[in-house]
Amino acid sequence: MPKDSSTFDMFDAHGAGTEKNQGTFPQGINASGLITGYYLDTNMAEHGFLRMADGTLIEFDAPGAGSGAYQGTKPTSINGKGVIAGSYINAAGATSGFIRTAAGAFATFAVAVAPDPTTIPNCINDEGVVVGSAGGSSGLGAGFIRTADAQIITFDFPGEAWSINAAGDVLGSWVDPIQTIGGVFVRKSSGVFVRYHVLAVVSAAINDAGTVMGTYAVEETHHGFLRWQSAN
């Protein structure tokens, strides 16, 4: 029997700390009700979790993840097949990407953006294509696409890839520090880029219809924006 629409299921990861800034942080949910995210333990280390539709919690760490404060595993997205993408920080402080299959197998990767290999996946679609940002700790960084066969494509302008839809269209943000302008871009699956000016983009996403939405900030106040695929 379906649950009442006003019913909430509250949950915490088993190892989550209970002090300030600790706890459980869900990040993504798929159509089957599988939820992924991370939790901060009592030592402020991050660990990943997968919550099944029946409420079962599976906690995990990416291979090579550190166990110190603000190190560890940070899932960000789960696709319809239960495949999870995210990042992890090792004991030396380096940030890399990971993919966890529904069976629990891991693949780790780093996108080389000289001189900084920092890699942060933001989204994975049902085809297993991952998008995110790389090289961000040494500057503005670059967006990247990791294809299902592990090929890496980076963008030749400063930006970050936030979201990818079923068609393979990628949404991201870009900025020109010289002209102090920026906005969002859509990279079509054909490789063609379309840019829109929206200053101070904080986050953004694209759906399967090509509609774009996100958050932008003006003098530290946040606002939403929406652009229909059919808009001129």
Phi and psi at residue 137, to the nearest 5°: -75, -10
The predicted-structure confidence for 40-91, as pLDDT tens digits, reads as follows: 999 999 999 999 999 999 999 999 999 999 999 999 999 999 999 999 999 9
**CATH number (domain holding residue 74):** 2.120.10.30
Q: Are 137 and 91 in contact (CB under 8 A)?
A: no
Residue 89, number of CB atoms within 10 A of its CB: 22
Question: Would you place residue 114 in the very low, low, confident or very high pLDDT band (cuts 50, 70, 90)?
Answer: low
Is 2 part of any domain? Answer: no
Strand intervals (E) in 41-176: 46-51, 57-60, 72-78, 84-89, 95-100, 106-109, 119-124, 130-134, 142-146, 152-164, 170-176
Q: Categorize the per-residue pLDDT at 232 as very low, low, confident or very high, splitting at 50, 70 and 90.
A: very low
pTM, two decimals, is 0.88
List own/partner pairs for 10-17 with CB under 8 A and 24 or more apart: 11/51, 11/55, 11/57, 12/39, 13/39, 13/47, 13/49, 13/57, 13/59, 14/57, 14/59, 15/39, 15/41, 15/47, 15/59, 16/40, 16/41, 17/41, 17/42, 17/43, 17/44
Would 232 be classed as within a structural domain?
A: no
What range does the domain containing 101 cover? Answer: 23-227
Are the CB atoms for 84 and 107 separated by under 8 Å? no
Answer yes or no: is 5 within a domain: no
Q: Is residue 3 part of a domain?
A: no
In a domain, 184, yes or no: yes
CB 86 within 8 A of CB 76: yes
Nearest CA to 157 among 136, 146, 142? 142
Decide if 13 is inside a domain. Answer: no
91 within some domain: yes
User: Does a structural domain hold residue 15?
Assistant: no
Report the domain count for the chain: 1
- In sequence order, the β-bridge partners of residue 139 are none
DSSP secondary structure code for residue 150 in this structure: S
